[in-house]
Structure 1
């Protein structure tokens, strides 16, 4: 007993000494508009960080004594740095005032290099879009309705009856764009048809977009580019939020979210319910102009922090269930497969589970990620029954190593196992099973104003052997206001026609495979120049981008060989996407106005047997613009957005047999949204209430019927994809939003 007391007496001062060698940092981050939420607060020397909450407050505990560089960055604000000194058992409090900026250079991004970095420092150009920007002039719970506001991105309607659509980057077809969820390539080919419609802006923190092949990091599907959807950080979400709206189309939507938090655990759960069961036929083709839909989407995310506040374990789950129908007025789900009353009925169910783990004691250098997804589509397109299932198991481990102050190395191992089964001839021999292991590495070298990034990926496909995907990027900072980037890389993709191309299922054409389809391959080069013009405290950011992608073995559906067939074969030639884009963005500090605009000119064509032809459905040019005005005296925000779409070449069969135009006309659409704030969530009572009203497609522009031979939907000429413009006219929305701190 005496020995125990003596030992305790001797150890107590040591324990006390160990406890007092650390301190606490706390503070508040504000701007001229009030508290700044979701700001990144880091101590550079020890890579310790935390975000600010909805009130702009932050706290970091258990910081070892010493002097550090405190760095604070947030979207839309200039980066702030200052020196702080932590003393034993003391709390350091700082109040930080951030300055607004236009140039989007200080946001933290991960997509370009698979490690956190600032936009300006990334050797690969990454465009960052916030949910606020996506919803600047529109109201929707579907990201596919909003993504067209991003420069170079557009959505192509692939069916005028059931309303499926796809994302195009610089005119490249939708399946060539890899859509990631928190950096995980889990949106398989089947999910590209309807699965993207279940992603609501309410669960998004930001969207990161890279144009051009990114197969080195994200695998063989990223031929045209990457859209990485970063979900909300549970540490920065309000305790409770609700968003409800209704549209003049009789679409109603409700979104509820809650964020339970404890000392080391932060959570976020969200539920979205949409219903649209209205029939209207304004174009007079006897079909509903927009598919009826009932949809529920559930999302949950949790974050477990380490003892010192560092990231340790993140996990997320998502469930999506949608029923949609399109067709004539008398069609309903009970008539699925009818050969007398035409309609299309699609039941979609999708589940996702994601996890990300960073073991303790390794300074977050090792990152282990995994995902499990299940997708089921049970559908009838007239009498054509398509029932398919796809499952994906994905695992990835990366090691991030700094070899010196100028050299960093990232290495990784991946394994992807996917199964696919349907009721078409594609799987007549049984379930299609693919196991794709891979290894990749990239090195980054920085010497003063020059940064070089090189990488290589090697995947193994059972049918195609080893596939390599190299890339090389360079960034040069020609002064504080000018950045020049140049990148080159390759891509590789195995195509599944029935899951990716909706035209193979809808309408009455027969699908013909002229040969065994080889994988598509691409080579690409992109360049960009970013420059900031100060304009006396009202900086204007200008960007000029050029792009060129060469596709070989391109698989393009041929609608022109025979009006009753869709012929699939590898192009005996090549396909090219090339062009340039220019963007401008400015935020006036005196006037509460900011604006953005972009224009993309593109040449998308195929060349076969010496004949060059524009690719169908690819526009010659696109443009987008937006403006936001803050009327602070009335707590009003007015948002306006517009889109420009140039001519598209339409399939020859529609011209020759039905007298449709070979080229679609140039058109614009315009949207307006007004938001009124009644109380601010950062006020003393912690309650935020907003109401909003929007008018979309203000000038009521539509293309007319997207259907061909709509009067005989069971006939051999019926088709649903003469689609080039809006099919829904002017729409009004009214909604309200509640946030509780």
Structure 2
């Protein structure tokens, strides 16, 4: 009886639904008299929705008769909401007019969710920077450009060869993942040796996500990520050339060209940088800045396909010859104890591509990359030769479940092969000692659920599961909540998540290779784990033409199993072990972007940091070295369009930081406050040509007492006239040893 009743009710509901009068809705989306392609169209409070075609037209069928709210959104435009009346068995026609959003609200980002989304709509806070911003203080590589980004610190880790890494919110370089087009091209060896090889000529924009992103990107994305989005061949200019030089003798050339072959478009860019002078302003007998000769060639192909499905393939080659050391060094002294030198040769090949599978009504995106990195370095007597192969493949399925609900599923596989001449790849001892390259196969699956709960709130959750052959299954997850006003001029975001990282000391830590200190690995190292919470607030004040944008974040990261090099126990050793206690990185960032007039624009940022660790045997907080408690950046730009002139005043301010000193060291254990400031004047000579010039490091700041015992770099006289037992050390560093210098350049864009 009960079964019969349920069957009757079910059939009655089907009949009632079938008898509900319905109609249809047809229309088009336009802005400024032009169609808006691929806009999202849906009815508020229902699951009825669609996407407009390339001509901006759309159609919705089987709509219950009555009054509905039509909601239309598109990248770069303000959302529109209109009331429509649907009549039974009739077709209703509707024209939707969109208004372009302000430049800040209309920016499109992909790094936070692995899908294109308007920056103001993203539940994950993403900072976006274009080459135009970095042109305010031109530099030859991404590594130097990032000094203008608040909360991101390019840290030099060696006073001789100037290798370095990128810190985000106080976390060291190995916790920062650097991606190219969303793929982990820059990792392991290249986090130390390849960051200078990313030139401006290949960059369309830089996206910065602060906080753990292991849910989407896996290991290494603990502190945050920097995603380098390369230029689209279809949008790149047919020809671009940018060349500049400095009064120190540095010369940089960026050039790019675009060509079309049927449905395929190709972009070829080249960067060449050279500096070969042995300068010694501080008179310590060592080069202040290493000599460098490097070349980077990037070629990207894009194929036109139906429905704008992406199909790209890109390749890059990078070579660098870098030297720093005593002034009398020559190549024949490489690896000997005659004259000290740090000589680094880097050869790197990269291949990456994306292809959307031709599946109707489904977005299945296949991504892949491969890189081969060859390292040949000599640090005094210590030679470091390494080869690394990294292959990466990923398949994602982006499935809109409704106008408000979107699901992303993916699977990834990463293979790393690494070999060097260090104990890292040695096995056995004595006669049984043999070389054993390290191979890691890291498969993973992940899922992300983005749900627009109401018109103002969005919830994003994600979970990832990786299998590491050394540590088994490693889970990571996150949750992000966003609330925004109707126009998204005020947005609050809350995010929590965790990350993990597997350490390879010999590919990440330059200090382990210099030969100045002996490396001690005190135990079998376990994966690092972290938990992070971030509260972000964004407010746009004023009209869209002259907005004042405030962006503030509170962040907190808690580490277990953290691996921190111990420089203090023995000045001649670096001791690595998992932290028995815990480590914390917490702080506040504030960014301000203010367009006062059409000619004057101000950008500023401040970061306050508290980074420390606690160990059971030591009650006091142990501060992290080379991490300032305060840092700030600023940029002021003013233009005179009538005369084709503009001026840019940029700089950074850095507070004191703890430095790695030796016992009884005469060098200060904390660095002083300092500021690096730059001034640039740009003149538009014609529609396509401009000249620029200025001064870097206006205040002529130079760090003091950088090297310890530079007169005895091989410690041959360490027991002579050395009552404090000092030894040669290159790790004491907090700022570039480059004084005031002028620069002059020209830029041509066709």
**TM-score normalised over the length of structure 2:** 0.85
The match for 2:526 is: 518
The match for 1:701 is: 701
* 1:532–1:335 distance in 2 versus 1, CA, 3 Å: same
| Deviation per residue, 1:251-304 (Å, 9 max, x gap) | 112222111125532221101111111111011111011110110100011111
| Deviation per residue, 1:622-681 (Å, 9 max, x gap) | 11111111110111121111101111011242xx3331111111111111121111111x
CA–CA separation in structure 2 for the residues paired with 1:598 and 1:370 = 36
The match for 1:7 is: none
* 1:417–1:428 distance in 2 versus 1, CA, 3 Å: same
* 1:203–1:124 distance in 2 versus 1, CA, 3 Å: same
* 1:164–1:737 distance in 2 versus 1, CA, 3 Å: same
8 Å CA contact 2:102–2:545 kept in 1: the answer is: no
8 Å CA contact 2:200–2:254 kept in 1: the answer is: no
CA–CA separation in structure 1 for the residues paired with 2:297 and 2:583 = 40
Alignment match of 1:650 (pick from 650, 659, 667): 659
CA–CA separation in structure 1 for the residues paired with 2:479 and 2:100 = 35
CA–CA separation in structure 2 for the residues paired with 1:425 and 1:259 = 47
Q: Return 469-478 or 430-439, whichever deviates more.
A: 469-478
Alignment match of 1:357 (pick from 344, 355, 358): 355
Q: Tell me how far 1:42 sits from its aligned partner.
A: 4.4
CA–CA separation in structure 1 for the residues paired with 2:52 and 2:284 = 61
1:736 has 2:746 as partner: yes
Q: Tell me how far 1:398 sits from its aligned partner.
A: 0.3
Q: Tell me how far 1:98 sits from its aligned partner.
A: 6.1
Q: Tell me how far 1:334 sits from its aligned partner.
A: 2.8
Q: Return 533-542 or 332-341, whichever deviates more.
A: 533-542
CA–CA separation in structure 1 for the residues paired with 2:500 and 2:379 = 31
The match for 2:542 is: 534
| Deviation per residue, 1:510-569 (Å, 9 max, x gap) | 111111111111111011111122269532111220000011111111111011111111
* 1:206–1:69 distance in 2 versus 1, CA, 3 Å: farther
| Deviation per residue, 1:396-435 (Å, 9 max, x gap) | 0000111122211000000001100000011013000000
The match for 2:47 is: none
* 1:313–1:129 distance in 2 versus 1, CA, 3 Å: same
Q: Tell me how far 1:105 sits from its aligned partner.
A: 2.3
8 Å CA contact 1:312–1:360 kept in 2: the answer is: no
CA–CA separation in structure 1 for the residues paired with 2:572 and 2:602 = 48
The match for 1:251 is: 250
CA–CA separation in structure 2 for the residues paired with 1:551 and 1:675 = 46
1:156 has 2:166 as partner: no
Give the 3-state SS of the residue equivalent to 2:185 in structure 1: coil
* 1:699–1:96 distance in 2 versus 1, CA, 3 Å: farther
* 1:549–1:537 distance in 2 versus 1, CA, 3 Å: same
CA–CA separation in structure 1 for the residues paired with 2:733 and 2:670 = 11
- Superposed CA RMSD: 2.7
The match for 1:55 is: none
The match for 1:371 is: 369
CA–CA separation in structure 1 for the residues paired with 2:549 and 2:601 = 12
CA–CA separation in structure 1 for the residues paired with 2:295 and 2:52 = 38
| Deviation per residue, 1:438-494 (Å, 9 max, x gap) | 000010111221110111000001110000001011001145321110001111111
The match for 2:477 is: 470
The number of equivalent residue pairs is: 672
Alignment match of 2:565 (pick from 532, 542, 557): 557
8 Å CA contact 1:41–1:73 kept in 2: the answer is: no
The match for 2:205 is: 206
| Deviation per residue, 1:56-91 (Å, 9 max, x gap) | xxxx68x878799997766xxx759899xxxxxxxx
8 Å CA contact 1:506–1:719 kept in 2: the answer is: no
Give the 3-state SS of the residue equivalent to 1:426 in structure 2: helix
| Deviation per residue, 1:227-273 (Å, 9 max, x gap) | 11101111111111111111111111222211112553222110111
8 Å CA contact 1:278–1:292 kept in 2: the answer is: yes
Give the 3-state SS of the residue equivalent to 1:441 in structure 2: strand
1:185 has 2:194 as partner: no
CA–CA separation in structure 1 for the residues paired with 2:52 and 2:509 = 46
CA–CA separation in structure 2 for the residues paired with 1:372 and 1:289 = 36
The match for 2:238 is: 239
Give the 3-state SS of the residue equivalent to 1:193 in structure 2: helix
The match for 2:20 is: none
Q: Tell me how far 1:330 sits from its aligned partner.
A: 1.5
* 1:208–1:47 distance in 2 versus 1, CA, 3 Å: farther
Q: Tell me how far 1:582 sits from its aligned partner.
A: 1.3
| Deviation per residue, 1:199-238 (Å, 9 max, x gap) | 0111111111111111000001111001111011111111
Give the 3-state SS of the residue equivalent to 1:679 in structure 2: coil
CA–CA separation in structure 2 for the residues paired with 1:440 and 1:209 = 21
Q: Tell me how far 1:25 sits from its aligned partner.
A: 12
Give the 3-state SS of the residue equivalent to 2:133 in structure 1: helix
* 1:224–1:536 distance in 2 versus 1, CA, 3 Å: closer
8 Å CA contact 1:507–1:719 kept in 2: the answer is: no
8 Å CA contact 1:141–1:202 kept in 2: the answer is: no
Consecutive unaligned residues of structure 1, counting only runs of 5 or more, are: 1-23, 31-38, 50-59, 84-94, 681-687
CA–CA separation in structure 1 for the residues paired with 2:257 and 2:654 = 39
Q: Tell me how far 1:28 sits from its aligned partner.
A: 9.7
The match for 1:270 is: 269
Q: Return 531-540 or 270-279, whichever deviates more.
A: 531-540
Alignment match of 1:458 (pick from 455, 465, 468): 465
1:491 has 2:502 as partner: no
CA–CA separation in structure 1 for the residues paired with 2:741 and 2:383 = 33
The match for 2:587 is: 579
8 Å CA contact 1:669–1:699 kept in 2: the answer is: yes
8 Å CA contact 1:507–1:718 kept in 2: the answer is: no
**TM-score normalised over the length of structure 1:** 0.86
Give the 3-state SS of the residue equivalent to 1:216 in structure 2: helix
1:614 has 2:623 as partner: yes
1:661 has 2:659 as partner: no
* 1:25–1:216 distance in 2 versus 1, CA, 3 Å: closer
8 Å CA contact 2:71–2:79 kept in 1: the answer is: no
Q: Which has the larger radius of gyration?
A: 2
The match for 1:90 is: none
CA–CA separation in structure 2 for the residues paired with 1:69 and 1:483 = 20
CA–CA separation in structure 1 for the residues paired with 2:72 and 2:406 = 22
8 Å CA contact 1:297–1:321 kept in 2: the answer is: yes
8 Å CA contact 2:31–2:99 kept in 1: the answer is: no
Give the 3-state SS of the residue equivalent to 1:637 in structure 2: strand
Q: Tell me how far 1:100 sits from its aligned partner.
A: 5.7
Give the 3-state SS of the residue equivalent to 1:191 in structure 2: helix
Consecutive unaligned residues of structure 2, counting only runs of 5 or more, are: 1-27, 42-49, 61-69, 83-96, 428-435, 719-726
* Residues 711-726 of structure 1 aligned to structure 2 (within 5 Å): 711-715=711-715, 717-726=727-736
Q: Tell me how far 1:726 sits from its aligned partner.
A: 2.8
Q: Tell me how far 1:307 sits from its aligned partner.
A: 3.4
8 Å CA contact 1:597–1:623 kept in 2: the answer is: yes
8 Å CA contact 1:264–1:307 kept in 2: the answer is: no
CA–CA separation in structure 2 for the residues paired with 1:352 and 1:173 = 25
CA–CA separation in structure 1 for the residues paired with 2:416 and 2:365 = 22
Q: Tell me how far 1:333 sits from its aligned partner.
A: 2.5
**Bigger relative CO (Cα 8 Å, ≥ 6 apart):** 1
CA–CA separation in structure 2 for the residues paired with 1:505 and 1:28 = 60
8 Å CA contact 2:199–2:254 kept in 1: the answer is: no
